[in-house]
């Protein structure tokens, strides 16, 4: 498997090279308690990282959700771990994505209906079956100035990843068929 540094869409200028900044894996449970614990266990087995809890932003009485209650778990992966998980997640969807999965900001999001579709994962009746969202953030060098804490400034339009560039990256580098 190639390193995350080798997965770069090479153009002319080195500041225009696209790379995978991070991969975020999210399981939304909708309730706290034992179900949330089982979802966290599944996410830890899949990624090898400790998941963090996501809390509800507002109260919804119809669903029994209170503001501040943990309702989901997520893991952020970077570098080689991100590439390794992304290739396994793309195998679960047969390397096919819809064009609507790509956004203008260089973000690609797709869902996996059942976590047992990922290669190398076996069904455990104690944990159940969980669906998840996988979000991939693509970036170019120099985009960090937009997100750093100190001396934050705007990145130029040329440093933002467009939808067409993201589609080309997934097709050429990762071998994804975009429909």
Mean pLDDT of 107-135: 91
The whole-angstrom separation of Cα 156 and Cα 168 is 21
- Summarised one tens digit per residue, pLDDT across range 3-25 is 666 666 666 788 888 899 999 99
Total domain count, the chain: 1
Question: Is 97 a domain residue?
Answer: yes
Residues in contact with 4: Cβ distance below 8 Å, sequence separation at least 6, in sequence order: 19, 20, 79, 80, 82, 83
Q: What is the pTM of this model?
A: 0.88
What pLDDT score does 65 carry?
82
Question: pLDDT tier at 157 (50, 70, 90 boundaries)?
Answer: confident
Question: Is 90 a domain residue?
Answer: yes
Sheet (strand 19-28) strand order: 52-55, 70-77, 19-28, 132-139, 107-112
Question: Is 171 a domain residue?
Answer: yes
- Summarised one tens digit per residue, pLDDT across range 35-74 is 899 999 999 999 999 999 988 898 888 888 889 888 899 9
Question: Is 2 a domain residue?
Answer: no
- Quote the domain boundaries for residue 110: 20-178
Count the helices and strands in the chain (H runs, E runs): 3, 7
CATH number reported for the structural domain that contains residue 70 in this entry? 3.30.1440.10
Question: Is 131 a domain residue?
Answer: yes
Mean pLDDT of 86-94: 93
What pLDDT score does 9 carry?
60
What pLDDT score does 101 carry?
93
Question: Is 10 a domain residue?
Answer: no
The whole-angstrom separation of Cα 47 and Cα 83 is 11
What pLDDT score does 6 carry?
63
């Amino acid at each position: 498997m190639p390193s995350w540094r080798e997965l770069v869409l090479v153009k002319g200028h080195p500041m225009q090279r696209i790379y995978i900044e991070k991969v975020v894996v999210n399981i939304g449970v909708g309730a706290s308690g034992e179900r949330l614990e089982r979802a966290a266990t599944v996410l830890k087995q899949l990624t090898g990282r400790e998941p963090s809890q996501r809390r509800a932003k507002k109260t919804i009485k119809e669903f029994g959700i209170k503001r501040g209650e943990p309702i989901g778990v997520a893991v952020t992966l970077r570098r080689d771990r991100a590439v390794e998980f992304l290739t396994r997640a793309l195998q679960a969807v047969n390397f096919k994505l819809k064009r609507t999965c790509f956004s203008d900001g260089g973000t690609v999001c797709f869902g996996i209906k059942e976590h047992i579709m990922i290669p190398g994962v076996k069904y455990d009746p104690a944990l159940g079956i969980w669906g998840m969202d996988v979000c991939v953030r693509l970036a170019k060098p120099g985009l960090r100035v937009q997100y750093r804490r100190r001396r934050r400034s705007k990145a130029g339009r040329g440093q933002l990843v467009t939808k067409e560039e993201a589609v080309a990256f997934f097709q050429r580098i990762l071998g994804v068929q975009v429909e």
